[in-house]
Amino acid sequence: MRAESGVEMVTVGLLVRLAAKPGREAELEEFLRSALPLVENEPGTIAWFALKFGPFSFGIFDAFPHDTARQAHLAGRVAAALMARAADLLAAAPEIEQIDTLATKLPHAAGALLSQGRTSSEGSKDE
């Protein structure tokens, strides 16, 4: 489903809370940073954020257009990599909350083109 702006609408998400094992905080932070390229290859993941709440408290927030995309993400490479490293990095099992979005503000397609150094008229030309 797309909004009038042409940006994919977000209807569901995930909020994942992660507690780092003492002494493993830097490794967990680096793991989260390294996951970005994996998520960039998921067309159904509209937004993805790696978060740091405090010295031992981290998280991930993801947004999706529908539950099928959310389930695909949960079965994807980031989740598999996290579970493979969980015993080494995490003090407890990840807390995964499946959420519904009530309202969203996402970048517009024209804004995305501007951030890439193009103007809106350049982005609409046929090449």
**Count of the separate structural domains present in the chain:** 1
Residue 42 lies in a domain: yes
Residue 64 lies in a domain: yes
Looking at every residue in the chain, the average pLDDT score rounds to 85
Residue 60: count of CB within 10 angstroms of its CB? 21
Q: What is the CATH number of the domain that holds 48?
A: 3.30.70.100
Residue 5 lies in a domain: no
29-80 pLDDT tens trace:
999 999 999 999 999 999 999 999 999 999 999 999 999 999 999 999 999 9
Residue 110 lies in a domain: yes
The two structure tokens encoding residue 68: 């099928």
Residue 51 lies in a domain: yes
Three-class secondary structure assignment of 61-112: EEEECCHHHHHHHHCCHHHHHHHHHHHHHECCCCEEEEEECCCCCCCCHHHH
Range(s) of the domain holding residue 34: 12-124
pLDDT of the residue at 83: 95
Burial call 108-123: b when 16+ CB within 10 Å, e when fewer: ebbeebeeeeeeeeee
Residue 7 lies in a domain: no
Dihedral sign computed on CA atoms, order 39, 53, 100, 7: negative
Residue 74 lies in a domain: yes
Residue 2 lies in a domain: no
